[in-house]
Structure 1
């Protein structure tokens, strides 16, 4: 069996990165008893797999004039906003990025880097010095690659860089505002220090007037799966020695989850397994009702399958393969308030909308709207109003009134019942729509069902929102009984325990005999499954909340505050938004 030297658990977890923490270890010495917390004990010889890691505490070390002056604890649900400082040390290899930067949890922009020296790839691609690369994902072929979007003026081609590639990439400046939750989930660095600037909305006394720099230092706990499929949570300070195990020997006759099987190296596939336990909830998971205890499966390979998250009027949620062959047509979106426009705009392409409800501006710096006005949404900005002899800031959406060709400012609370203006309507497949630049998110209607989908639920639904395309990690499995069929099992949603019985070494036969024609199954998502995808991918790039402000005219009532309603209608996560509104107002 291949194995690494033994080390303390603390040393082991400190070596884990954001993309390589799902590892299996065997306890070689020590004993951990914590009955008051988790009723858990590890003994020599125990094997368990780390399946998740999450922060349990965050400390901020405050600096002024490059000197640490204070260390404070920040609650995990803290809603104050920060700006991040780019790491001043460049990354000298792609492997450094892999072990330091969070990949795959991004639903909006990835981290951007400036290339400090030319990169020459084997396929003759040259990435010139000074070009900007956006880290967008991870791909596993024969080895691991990081996927970048090469940002150019006219196009953004994708390039794959192997971990062995020597580079000099400098993190770019980021002018966005982030809550602590956002930073921890997709902007934290591992093995490097993440410095932030305290900006606005801070309620902690030690941060309200602090204008220096803070170093964020989180403490993590780990979810592990033990022999027999038992899941538990352990802290990072276990007093045990462990050894990382890999290869095929340890997995034989060992009860595992699909998530654990997915972490087996690609060269170990295919393998044969027996289903030993099936979760009761799998009976309501679309397309996977036929898995039964005692069933034998051959896991042929692991694969990330492109799928789209589709929502019907915020009531039903679906996961649709990007290969879906139904006929669709793009339909216009509705934006009740200017704040909806603010949340839905993109940097690459402004939204063009029609005003369907008039709005009367309260002060000269703002602009009125008439029914029938056409607007091209540009950006958002902050304007300063004089109210009661005091300057007050107000966030607005900046647009061009196409009718008058004038640039105007619309406050975020303005209700205009805006309707998106689309180009010429055309019917297409989902893949054809996704190939168009800046096509997601959008509204669609399925006008013709996919003939390969049994009881296709999408035709007939009037308002479908195409949220985003994701890469869904799946195990491609062959089930021979009662008749041969290929299954694509999503590891995060199919809850079964399996035992590995034997490795199937006739790999040539397995690849040639069975064609991986994945079913275009439309999967219905439960609320918790949809929430988990929201948490992982952030469907819309979270925008900083506007400040609630009272803008008054003489002898008039304060303007209504409808930002919470606008936030929820924009498709962002309403519980967090509601809490943030409460803290801002």
Structure 2
């Protein structure tokens, strides 16, 4: 049952709260008011349509406001000339041959004269002053102009002091209306909310960017979109960082509400590396495949002969002992510090241990120092250093084309594209493997078609300046697709490689990346006499 707001409030008790109500009608101020015409004319029909409520394809409805044209105009669609000061009533909108028109009626003509004005028609359309009085409720419902203030004057004999004691008794000026609106809206997930008009937020109208649902997607789902759909504009709705095995989340330069232009998908190659300091691993890195620092190859460290044998998966290698070893087993050889060897292949020999024959695994080598063949038992420890070939300085890419991984290197000059190269500070690096990360190549911010039309020759060099990669396995953001960008797609040209940085990772992460890393393990035990076993 409809009742006044005051009556409804007085009828409530705490036992029946909360309640929901709908406002069906109301007078915000008592009395009648005259609407003061807006003195600033509209310069185009499009401006007029944007500000005044006009129905679509109506032949009977008329706007409650009428306008006069201050200058004569004519259009290509109509041979007649609209004379100066002729008054127009706005009837409706209609489309013809892909263009929108405003249907108007020229007042005071017999028979009635109607015409179509295109959106780009220029004139000086000024609101006509009317003498009719209205309630404030009527003015707010049907006579507001979007983006402009409305002024009203009280009817003769109506005292504005009844509205507020602050109004002087003899006040005869006008009032400026400041309507307060509440917008019903749907958030992602079809959640309906009421948004007040005084909320301190900024918005972008994306109505004309296509019919899109509010269904969010993950970065992995964006990566799997058909490649012909890129570039895309997306909006970050939430950010959840992937955790490594240590439980720590990595920081990433994304935040809720951020707009990104996703240029393309790309499989990004990276080196896995470990810092070697005094023979032990310290920090671990992911190094861009495009790293341009100059490096020299260095030898690897091996604790025992068995470590040398494991490292021979890529072929023969040369190594040097750092301490003496005395063999008590024939035919296994002894060696002294500084002796150099060429590892050939693994083998199994029969050895006499305290009068008993045992099968012993050995590494057949050529002793470079004495120029003799030798057999070194796998359990022998010698703190060996690989003798690397002196191939001269080069980039990591160049080095890995010649030598298989893993290998040890020393950075002798930093990457010139980096302000600070953390690898240049290291004593030695062990390059473990090359991995491939699925990434989105992105740019912060938005682009418009004006940029495309004005700078088509340089657009991609501009795009590549601030591009960066988003590894889809490391970040679980929820995003909305805001817009497809076919005007970039049609250029048929790839941007430069996105800016890549050296990333420090944990030891646990480095182990998950590679299948070829040589995990440290103790050498095999020497065979024991059966009487002791």
TM-score (norm 1): 0.46
Residue 429 (structure 1) aligned to one of 352, 372, 395: 395
Residue 264 (structure 2) aligned to one of 284, 287, 301: 301
Q: CA deviation at 1:516?
A: 2.6
d(CA) in 2 for partners of 1:300 and 1:340? 46
- Distance change (3 Å), C-alpha of 1:393 and 1:497: farther
Task: Name the counterpart of 2:374.
Answer: 408
Contact 1:343 1:543 in 2 (8 A): no
Partner deviation per Cα, 1:354-383 (whole Å, 9 max, x = no partner): 222111112112111122321111122233
d(CA) in 2 for partners of 1:491 and 1:265? 16
Task: Name the counterpart of 1:445.
Answer: 410
Counterpart mapping for 1:213-362 below 5 A:
253-279=214-240, 289-313=252-276, 314-347=281-314, 349-362=315-328
d(CA) in 1 for partners of 2:341 and 2:440? 47
3-state SS, counterpart of residue 328 of structure 2 = coil
Task: Name the counterpart of 1:506.
Answer: 487
Asked if residue 381 in structure 1 is aligned to residue 358 in structure 2, the reply is no
Counterpart mapping for 1:473-488 below 5 A:
473-480=438-445, 485-488=466-469
- Distance change (3 Å), C-alpha of 1:385 and 1:329: same
Task: Name the counterpart of 1:551.
Answer: 528
Contact 2:326 2:334 in 1 (8 A): yes
3-state SS, counterpart of residue 413 of structure 1 = coil
d(CA) in 2 for partners of 1:294 and 1:510? 29
Task: Name the counterpart of 1:221.
Answer: none
Contact 2:362 2:375 in 1 (8 A): yes
d(CA) in 1 for partners of 2:318 and 2:211? 58
Asked if residue 521 in structure 1 is aligned to residue 501 in structure 2, the reply is yes
d(CA) in 1 for partners of 2:211 and 2:467? 27
Task: Name the counterpart of 1:367.
Answer: 333
d(CA) in 1 for partners of 2:347 and 2:512? 32
Asked if residue 531 in structure 1 is aligned to residue 511 in structure 2, the reply is yes
Partner deviation per Cα, 1:423-466 (whole Å, 9 max, x = no partner): 33622222222232x24221111122212223321112102111
The alignment covers a number of residue pairs equal to 303
Contact 1:271 1:503 in 2 (8 A): yes
Contact 1:395 1:547 in 2 (8 A): no
Q: Which has the larger radius of gyration?
A: 2
Counterpart mapping for 1:43-62 below 5 A:
none
d(CA) in 2 for partners of 1:552 and 1:460? 51
Q: CA deviation at 1:398?
A: 1.8
- Distance change (3 Å), C-alpha of 1:281 and 1:264: closer
d(CA) in 2 for partners of 1:404 and 1:495? 60
Q: CA deviation at 1:525?
A: 1.3
- Distance change (3 Å), C-alpha of 1:346 and 1:464: same
d(CA) in 2 for partners of 1:440 and 1:520? 22
d(CA) in 2 for partners of 1:251 and 1:548? 67
Runs of at least 5 residues in structure 1 that lack an aligned partner in the other structure? 1-226, 229-248, 559-585
- Distance change (3 Å), C-alpha of 1:420 and 1:464: same
Contact 2:260 2:443 in 1 (8 A): yes
Q: CA deviation at 1:387?
A: 4.4
d(CA) in 1 for partners of 2:363 and 2:211? 59
- Distance change (3 Å), C-alpha of 1:257 and 1:510: farther
3-state SS, counterpart of residue 313 of structure 2 = coil
Contact 2:363 2:378 in 1 (8 A): yes
Residue 474 (structure 2) aligned to one of 477, 486, 493: 493
TM-score (norm 2): 0.50
Contact 1:256 1:499 in 2 (8 A): yes
Contact 2:343 2:364 in 1 (8 A): yes
Task: Name the counterpart of 1:212.
Answer: none
- Distance change (3 Å), C-alpha of 1:401 and 1:521: same
- Distance change (3 Å), C-alpha of 1:494 and 1:510: farther
d(CA) in 1 for partners of 2:257 and 2:412? 42
Cα RMSD (Å): 3.7
Runs of at least 5 residues in structure 2 that lack an aligned partner in the other structure? 1-187, 190-209, 448-461
Contact 1:306 1:471 in 2 (8 A): yes
